[in-house]
Amino acid sequence: MRPQRGEEVRPQRGEEVTSPKTREDVVRAAGRLFAERGYHGTSMRDLGQELGLLGSSLYSHIEGKDQLLLEVIRRGGAMFAALAEEVVATGGTAAEQLRRLVVGHVAIITEFLDESATFLEEGRFLPAEPRAELVELRDAYEDAYRAVLTTGARSHEFHNVDDPALTSTLILSMLNALVRWYRPSGRLSPEEIADGILALVMEGVS
Amino acid sequence: MRPQRGEEVRPQRGEEVTSPKTREDVVRAAGRLFAERGYHGTSMRDLGQELGLLGSSLYSHIEGKDQLLLEVIRRGGAMFAALAEEVVATGGTAAEQLRRLVVGHVAIITEFLDESATFLEEGRFLPAEPRAELVELRDAYEDAYRAVLTTGARSHEFHNVDDPALTSTLILSMLNALVRWYRPSGRLSPEEIADGILALVMEGVS
DNA sequence: CCTACCGATCGGTAGG
DNA sequence: CCTACCGATCGGTAGG
């Protein structure tokens, strides 16, 4: 009665009425699993099961597994790019801009945890060509931090930025690590976390 | 002439004389590949090729792929544990201890980049039981930071540590992210990086 | 350390 | 969206 090979879990039938899945559903579920198990740790059959269908059924919604990774990553990346653009366009003092970058970054990660984690952690598994797109996007984003820090150092708002490239890397390290430890049920709200990061970045511990 | 299946790359014969590989060689090569491609992105055949032998030949040195991951991770973890122990045992002011933790952490990562990266990035792919061991080890390590920060706050060495748990997480975020961007050929030496981190942590940007 | 495999699983396709 | 597959690759073993 069972197929010769491929003991794939069948979708439930009966009781639960499930509507047809959209491409949107597939991309969102992919973000969830890529963030949780990693790209190489997620099979198309895993992804199908998450949605209540077979792995092979996904191919009517998407082109392939790596296209799916690319799409999740683009969604994550676009939000960070939009933040940097908005902050630079709005202007203000260097300290104000840095504050908006940090608050916005924390907001994006905490609200779109799966897409952010996939963008930040799984990008290296992209094929060479689209990976170049991602590297460009990340470099541009880091440039916003570097520019703000450089401006602030020149205007004497910041007295302790000897190496804006290093400082921006360190600030982004704190921010990006959020995808590793932030959980909505955790002790601290996104606002409290952003305040804590800003306190450390602005004043240090002593 | 070729086998029916499994077009596996054969080790070179002739010219190059290669000595038998040791378990040590296997573990080191595993660290290299797990760090570079991720645990699930590395096959036993990849690992064999890295050493000039077949994937199946590895099993005379090791018990299985997940045992190999565990061994690489233990090597990384042991170094961080030893650092924390030594710093706590040596004592000194909170600022001095924090400085030694940061300098030591940067030294471990920059010197043992593969083991550190595998410890910090691939631990979640460990089977449940050994993963508990790793979580314990990481918690103990983070406790050293938390204790130093709490002590420093109480003794008024640190005036800006409202939440030692958050601050220690943020400091460790900066340190651990090194495995992502540090390259021996890079612009900054380990000492310069440690100084930069300490400058930001102690004084902030302004 | 290789030869010669094993069963399971992988990403993906043809056809309905 | 499923049925029924495909060839490739996976981790791993028996025997030498």
Largest CA distance in chain A: 77
Please report which helix (H) or strand (E) contains residue B149, including its range.
helix B128-154
Inter-chain touch A201–B200, beta carbons under 8 Å: yes
**DSSP assignment of chain A, as one string?**
---SS--PPPPP-SSS--PPPPHHHHHHHHHHHHHHH-STT--HHHHHHHHTS-GGGGGGT-S-HHHHHHHHHHHHHHHHHHHHHHHHHH---HHHHHHHHHHHHHHHHHHSHHHHHHHHHSGGGS-HHHHHHHHHHHHHHHHHHHHHHHHHHHTTS-SS-S-HHHHHHHHHHHHHTHHHH--TTSSS-HHHHHHHHHHHHHH---
pLDDT at A19 (0 to 100): 85
Q: CB of A43 within 8 A of CB of A30?
A: no
CA distance B13 to A205: 59
Chain A residue nearest residue B181, CA to CA: A169
State the nearest residue by CA to the C1' of D10. Answer: B43
Nucleotides on chain D within 7 angstroms of protein Cβ: 1-6, 8-14, 16
Residue B11, pLDDT score: 55
Q: Give the pLDDT confidence of B106-145 residue by residue, as tens digits.
A: 999 999 999 999 999 999 999 999 999 999 999 999 999 9
Res B71: pLDDT: 98
Please list every residue in chain A whose beta carbon sits closer than 8 Å to the beta carbon of residue B205. Answer: 98, 149, 152, 158-161, 167, 201-202
Which of B177, B181, B200 is the closest to A167 by Cβ?
A: B200
CB-hemisphere CA count at 13 Å for B180?
20
Q: How far is the CA of A63 from the C1' of D6 (A)?
A: 18
Protein CA B129 to sugar C1' D11 (Å): 20
Q: Any chain A CB within 8 A of the CB of B182?
A: no
Residue-wise pLDDT tens digits, B58-113 = 999 999 999 999 999 999 999 999 999 999 999 999 999 999 999 999 999 999 99
pLDDT, residue A11, reads 55
10 Å CB burial of residue B162 (0-12, 13-18, 19+) is exposed
Rounded to whole angstroms, how far apart are CA atoms B126 and A38? 13
Mean pLDDT score of chain B = 94
Q: Which pTM was predicted? A: 0.94
pLDDT band at A5 (very low <50, low <70, confident <90, very high): very low
Q: What is the mean pLDDT of residues B41-67?
A: 97
The token pair that represents B92 in the structure block: 């000194």
Confidence band of B9 (pLDDT split at 50, 70, 90): low
Average pLDDT score, chain A: 94
Contacts (Cβ under 8 Å, ≥6 apart) of B119? B72, B73, B75, B76, B77, B80, B134
Rounded to an integer, the average pLDDT of B40-65 is 97
